[in-house]
Amino acid sequence: MSHPATPNGTRPRRPRLRYAPLLAPALLLALSGCTATSRADPTPATTPQVTGPLCAALPTGTDPGNPTFLASQPADQALRWIPTLTTFEAALRTSGVLTDLPAGTGVTILAPTDDAFAATFSEDNWDDLMTHHTDQLRTLLKAHLVTGAHPIDDLTTAGTTTTLDGTAITVTRTGPTTRLGDRADTVCADYQATNARIHIINAVLGPLPVTAGTGHRAH
């Protein structure tokens, strides 16, 4: 609000607020209280422990794709960060199998490495499966999914598990790794993701006929 000028043409000085200094301590106290609250250290999150001979070659520490980072990611996103699962991740994305699971349903993913696919399928055979045989591809991928997010120790204790394609496979401990169906071994188990567990394995599961050794897949 403007004030009229005094007779000498100057404007009166605005009176100083004498209570302002009294507010300062209270304000500082409030601010210090907020600061103390914001600086409180949260409970440290437990670092997910992965096990297996391949783990040392995969992202660790603060590297992109490390186990702690993946623990906060949805399963489909977590798979994208694991460099040795590019073939499997692309197949899951193409088939849409993961999106078929009911919302909130946990899942265990038995994920073959790129090398496992290269040893099992020729390049032409795999490309044909991805492009023209979606139903067969989905059946193959369901052989690598189990309902519920199960740590590898739980699967070993149970001794058997049933994949989404209805196949029962045996699960046995073999030293530092776990054997699945007398066909594949875990090479880096117990990645956590949102409502999921990912166990990387060294062979492709499933009943489909395959062609091996007649082509080379890019890695």
Top pLDDT among 2 and 176 is at 176
Percentage of the residues of the chain whose pLDDT score is greater than 90: 65
Give yes or no for a contact between 129 and 121, defined as CB atoms under 8 angstroms apart: yes
How high is the pLDDT of residue 54? Answer: 96
How high is the pLDDT of residue 29? Answer: 38
CA distances from 169 to 137, 155, 166, 217 (A): 19, 10, 10, 28
Is the Cα dihedral 198, 200, 201, 205 positive or negative? positive
Confidence of residue 212 (pLDDT cuts 50, 70, 90): low
Burial of 101 (0-12, 13-18, 19+ CB in 10 A): middle
Domains, in order of start, for the chain: 55-201 (2.30.180.10)
Confidence of residue 116 (pLDDT cuts 50, 70, 90): very high
How high is the pLDDT of residue 149? Answer: 96
Q: What is the pLDDT of residues 57-76, one digit of tens each?
A: 999 999 999 999 999 999 99
pLDDT at 106 > cutoff 90: yes
Q: What is the pLDDT of residues 3-29, one digit of tens each?
A: 444 444 444 444 443 434 434 444 333
Across 127-154, average pLDDT: 94
DSSP 84: G
pLDDT at 183 > cutoff 80: yes
Distance, CA of 82 to CA of 59 (rounded, Å)? 8
How high is the pLDDT of residue 175? Answer: 84
pLDDT at 31 > cutoff 90: no
Q: What is the pLDDT of residues 41-55, one digit of tens each?
A: 333 357 789 999 999
Give yes or no for a contact between 120 and 212, defined as CB atoms under 8 angstroms apart: yes
pLDDT at 139 > cutoff 60: yes
pLDDT at 186 > cutoff 90: yes
